Amino acid sequence: MAKVTGLGGIFFRSRDPAALSAWYAKHLGLAVDDWGGVRFNEDEERAGYTLWSPFTADTTYFGPGPQPYMVNFRVDDLDALLVQLRAAGIEVDERVDISEFGRFGWATDPEGTRIELWQPSA
């Protein structure tokens, strides 16, 4: 059975992501990367890490509606998990994105909240 292996990230809407990232860097000491987010618990020996990342207030990345945040879960087998979710009647986005960071899929929880599923690159 495919399963979640950790929390991959915390993503949320912001009126001004650059200013918010700068505030967190200045006041809380977060090491904000050039792309505007922070990687936590990065371990060269282990695939995956946890991200903190503000998005623009009008982002469509979180799906339709006013959802202010999206949780990203690290998973061990994205394809198998998407099949399991579909078989259980759960709404799953047909799209799977592939990047240098790994593979990404999305599903919607019972309250209508879109979640991101991430299988890191090996």
Per-position DSSP letters for 39-83, written without gaps between them: EES--TTSS--EEEEEEETT-STT-SS---EEEEEEES-HHHHHH
Return the CATH architecture of domain 4-120: Roll (3.10)
pLDDT tens, 5-44? Answer: 888 888 888 889 998 888 888 876 788 888 888 888 766 5
Q: How many Å apart are CA 54 and CA 121, to the nearest integer?
A: 23
pLDDT tens, 62-117? Answer: 987 788 989 898 888 999 999 999 999 999 999 999 999 899 999 998 878 898 99
